[in-house]
Each structure stands twice: as structure tokens, then as C-alpha cells.
Amino acid sequence: MRRGWFGLPFFGIKPEPAVVSCTLSGGGSRASFQVGALRYLYRHDPTFAPSVFVGASAGSILASGLAQFADRDEQLDWLEGFARIWDAMPDSDAMFTPRTWYRKMLDEAPSWLEIVQPPAPAERPPSRLPRPAFFARNKAPESPPSPEPALDPVQFALTPDQELHSTWSLEQLSTIASHVGRLPRMGSDVSAIWAGLERTQSMYRPGPVLLQLLEPDFFSPARVADSGNRVRLAMVALESGELRYMTESGQIVDRSNRVFDDEHHDLVLGVLASCSIPGVFRAVPIADETYVDGGTRENLPAELAIGLMGASRNYVVSSHNGGVARRESMANASIFSVVMRSTEILIDEAGRDELEYAISAGALTIYPEVSVHDSMDVTPALLRINTDYGWIRAAEHRLGLSAQVARRHRRIVEQRMVCAKREAAWFDEPDNVNRQTAITMAKEHLRTLLASGHPDALPAGAQDWWKGFEAHAQPVDVEPWWC
């Protein structure tokens, strides 16, 4: 009997020969990694012919789009179309467009703080004239004041709060008086922001890239239903807190793949719900419940694909690299920062478990070891680098390359990131000779690293990466001076 996570058996599941599943994780703009990995698999792995697609969040867009076609060549053609749309994004607004109220709040917040924040304390003049030096000649030098001892953490936790009082001064009143003409407009802005927040219930709306990806010519729920493929898109119901999936026919099933709702819904709603990051995008009502991003419970829903869909060969592609970037000390961080950081850690831990499950179940599991960019970063250079990295990681797994070779490839990716960063800095000061020199040194080092890469694992044209600029939103009309 096959056994899965925590040694639990998959009751009644008998793998069907020649049935291949593909599970795609969430990750926002980091779906670029998955694009590169899928490109490699379609072109170099003849056994990669998925008919079962499971996705969460951004992975649900890829999963449902690929599932429109039974033929793997047609799936690859659609993937290339997806990549063209994805690579054309100039900035984060293309994916995460700020709501009007949120943009207004960001624009106006500095002015509000200018009015209400307390002024910096002025230096007090000495209370008396300084003594002549000869009076103090034999006086022992004053020792610096001792720093106040840090409050004991236990004492800090158990000490009741003191009553807070606002300190007002004539200077603050003068500041407010100087802005009195703006107060009516501020009141109007606050009302507009509050109304916008209540109405939209999110900071962003999906940007134009999602509209392009869901255009009827590019994505058709009818094509998905008629393809013969099976689809599961992860989403979470806010009312019950339960993880559910929308199928290729628009039905909703529970995490055990049992039908929860006999009604057939529009698959586009399932895609939107699966991508609805809480607070970032608005939750999506479907039937009697309201749904958000499936990644809040299963960012990599491999267990459903491997354990309950009956495939004999399973591919899992995750854009999650396992681990969170270290932050500076958060001892004095705001409550909002602490909550956001804790959520980031919780999601990371869940992602680790899901990845470990996929590996333990024998799936061909492809994931990054370097975080090229975060999930809301849309920088053209980093998107392209991450796409190429996905290709490389898929090749490493497919070819069974050693950890030593993987480390060489990782250094190549990291060096391209260095090049992209230095190029961006040079754009700000194109006449800065030092920044030009820094780019030259970075490109020469990249050329050296590329020579150590495995030729069958690097994308076509990789040996020329060092010869040109990385992708940028603004056109680069300067010939590379370093080659």
C-alpha cells in the first residue's frame, strides 16, 4: 500500500499508468520560475505529458491555461504566449494596481504626519555662562552619563501600561494653524479613503496582465472542460476556513476530492479566487461562501495531486525556495511589521512541509535554491533571470546533476542579479565612470562563471549573457562597452 505524508496510506488510490500530474505552487510574480521549468520539461522530457493539473494562486493561472489542450505541443504554444505577456510587464502596477483610495493614502500620508507629529526638541542653551578654564584646571573630568539599563523582558511583559498623554506646544499649534486651509481637504480625503476601503476591501486590483491572460481568445473555460484534462484550483472559504478546489467543469470539491457543491461555476471565478491574496486583492464570492487565495492553506497542493488524483508520474514545480530572508533587529518594530513578518514565517513553514511531502512521495520536484525576487516584485531583469533559473533547475533534476554543479549554476544566477543591480544604478548616473567600471567587472566575472556551467543545463544563448544588458523597462540604446 502506498503511504503518504506522516505515513498515512492513500486508501483506494491505484495509480493509472501513463497518467501524469503537474502541480504548480503560488508565488505571485515568481511564477516566472515555473515558466522556465515548464519550458525545459516540455522541450526535453518526453514523459512530461500532463493530463492532471493542480494549482494554487499564480500557479492556478498556469494550470488552467495549460489544461485547455490535450496535446503537449499545444500546451507549450500556450506557455510561450503566457511568457510573452509575462515578460512584457514593465513594473509592479501591471500585476498589482493600487486602488484609488490606497494610492491617495500613500500620497497624502507624509503631509498628515507633517501636521500631527511632534516637533523635534530644540537644544536648550546653557543655564549659566561657562566658567573660565583656569577655575576648572584641577577639577576631575566629568564622567559620561551611564546608559539606562535595559528593561527586563519579564518585567516589561508584566508591567501595566501607563496612561498616555499627548504633549501639545505652541509650536505644534502654530504648525496646525499654518495648515488650517488644508484641513477641509484632508477631511474630504480621509472620507474618500475610508469609503474606498469599505467598498473595495482591498489595497490593489488585478493589473492589466491578468486581464490579458483571461481574454476569451487566450483562456476559455469551455476549452478546459472539453480537453479531457482534470483540473483542481486551490482556494479557501473565509466563512468555514476550509480548503476547497474548483474543477475543470466548475464544480467545487473538498480537500479529499469529494464534491462539495453540485453547481457548475465559471472557471474564471475559480482562477480569481485562487489568486485573491487576502487584503491585497478582493475576496471572491462563489455560491454561499467567499473565497481567497488557496495559498493561505496550501501554497503547494501536491498532496491532492499525488495522493488522490491517481497519477503514476507526478511533477511538482514550486516557486518557493524554502526560507525567509533575514531582517534587521525587530525588537522595536511596529505591531503591523511583527504580524506581517510572522505571517511570512508561517507561510514559509507550511511551504517547507508541502515541499518535503512531494519529495518523500517520489515526485519529480523542482524548486529554487535562490530567491531572485519576491512575490510582488515586477522588475523585468529579475523576471528573466528567474525564468532562466527555472529552466536550469528543471535540467538539474532531469539530468541528475550533482550538488556541486548546482552550486556553480547558483553562482551564475546570483552574478546576473549583481549585474542587473549595477546596471540599474548606472541608469541613474550614466556619466559615472565608477559605475561603468563596476558593470565591466561584474560582466567579466559572469563570463568566467558561465564557462563552469553544465552545457546541457543552461538555456540556449546562455554563454552570451555576459555580452549584453539584462532586460529593463526603459530602452537601452548604448552599446556594451565591456566586450
Q: What is the pLDDT of residues 472-483, one digit of tens each?
A: 988 888 999 998
The answer, yes or no, to whether residue 368 has pLDDT greater than 90, is yes
What's residue 3's pLDDT? Answer: 44
The C-alpha cell that represents 386 in the structure block: 528567474
Higher pLDDT, 396 or 107: 396
Higher pLDDT, 441 or 345: 441
> What 3-state class would DSSP assign to 467?
helix
Q: Which residue has the cell 469609503?
A: 195
Higher pLDDT, 200 or 5: 200
Report the C-alpha gap between 79 and 58 in whole angstroms. Answer: 14
- Highest mean predicted confidence (pLDDT) among 182-196, 295-309, 432-446: 432-446
Answer whether 327's CB lies under 8 Å from 340's CB: no
| Banded pLDDT at 180 (limits 50, 70, 90) | low
Mean pLDDT along residues 221-240 = 96
What's residue 148's pLDDT? Answer: 61
Higher pLDDT, 464 or 334: 464
What's residue 339's pLDDT? Answer: 62
Query: Cβ–Cβ contacts within 10 Å for residue 347, how many?
Result: 17
Answer whether 290's CB lies under 8 Å from 238's CB: yes
- Looking at 323-466, list the stretches that DSSP marks H as alpha helix, in order from N- to C-terminal side: 335-360, 380-399, 403-428, 433-450
Average pLDDT, the chain: 83
- Which amino acid, 273? A
Answer whether 414's CB lies under 8 Å from 387's CB: no
Lowest mean pLDDT among 83-87, 189-193, 301-305, 463-467: 189-193
- Looking at 285-334, list the stretches that DSSP marks H as alpha helix, in order from N- to C-terminal side: 302-308
What's residue 176's pLDDT? Answer: 52
Report the C-alpha gap between 95 and 205 in whole angstroms. Answer: 8
Mean pLDDT along residues 284-304 = 91
| Banded pLDDT at 135 (limits 50, 70, 90) | very low
What's residue 204's pLDDT? Answer: 84
Question: Residue 471 has what DSSP assignment?
Answer: P
| Banded pLDDT at 341 (limits 50, 70, 90) | confident
What's residue 201's pLDDT? Answer: 75
Question: What share of the chain in percent tops pLDDT 90?
Answer: 56
88 φψ region: left (φ > 0), alpha (ψ -120 to 50), beta (else): alpha
Q: How far is CA 481 from the centre of its chain?
A: 34
- Highest mean predicted confidence (pLDDT) among 122-136, 228-242, 281-295: 228-242
Higher pLDDT, 127 or 291: 291
What's residue 146's pLDDT? Answer: 61
The answer, yes or no, to whether residue 78 has pLDDT greater than 70, is yes
Higher pLDDT, 176 or 468: 468
Mean pLDDT along residues 71-94 = 95
Q: Rounded to two decimals, what is the model's pTM?
A: 0.81
Classify strands 16-24 and 311-317 as parallel, antiparallel or unpaired. Answer: parallel
Mean pLDDT along residues 436-459 = 97
- For 10-14, the CB contacts below 8 A with 24+ separation are 10/307, 10/308, 13/307, 13/308, 13/310, 14/310
Mean pLDDT along residues 146-165 = 63
Q: If you write DSSP's letter for every residue of 93-115 in order, what string do you get? A: GGTEEEPHHHHHHHHHHHHHHHH
Mean pLDDT along residues 70-86 = 97
Q: How far is CA 394 from the centre of its chain?
A: 20
What's residue 136's pLDDT? Answer: 46
The answer, yes or no, to whether residue 467 has pLDDT greater than 90, is yes
Higher pLDDT, 333 or 258: 258
- Highest mean predicted confidence (pLDDT) among 3-17, 143-157, 258-272: 258-272
Mean pLDDT along residues 203-216 = 90
The C-alpha cell that represents 103 in the structure block: 494610492
What's residue 340's pLDDT? Answer: 61
Per-residue CA distances from 342 to 171, 243, 283, 350 (Å): 40, 21, 22, 12
What's residue 375's pLDDT? Answer: 85
Residue 31 class from Cβ within 10 Å (0-12 exposed, 13-18 middle, 19+ buried)? buried
